[in-house]
Amino acid sequence: MTHINDPEEPGQSVREFEEWKRGKAAEATAQPVRPSIFITDQQFADRWGVSRPTIWKMAKADPDFPQPIKLSPGTTRWRLEDVENYEAARAAASA
């Protein structure tokens, strides 16, 4: 039986082993993925001090505005990270 992590195993090249080793090293140093946090249109509206319809109008009118994500029929949310990135970009543009 050939093990990818054994360079002495017949049929396995040193190159394959080195590629495997680099992949394992990359996995060990990879940054953990931050789970997505979703907010409702009401939470988004409250955050900005506007109405829910205003949030939807802005999403339709501005292609740079964070777009809603349909999680299931009747359930649409905004990714908080997208909202924060948009807010930061707006703040930087107005500075």
Domain residue spans of the chain: 1-30, 38-94
For residues 17 and 82, the model is more confident at 82
CA distance 68 to 54: 13
| pLDDT recorded at residue 21 | 74
On the question of pLDDT at 61 being above 70, the answer is: yes
Note whether 17 and 7 are within 8 A (CB): yes
Instruction: Return d(Cα 84, Cα 38) in angstroms, integer.
Output: 12
How far, in Å, are 9, 26, 39, 40, 50 from residue 14 at the CA level?
10, 18, 49, 52, 62
Q: What's the rounded Cα separation, in Å, for the pair 42 and 14? A: 57
pTM: 0.63
pLDDT digits (tens, 9 = 90+) for 3-59: 555 555 666 677 877 777 777 766 666 667 778 899 999 999 999 999 999 999 999
pLDDT value of residue 19: 79
Q: What pLDDT, on a 0 to 100 scale, did the predictor assign at position 3?
A: 54
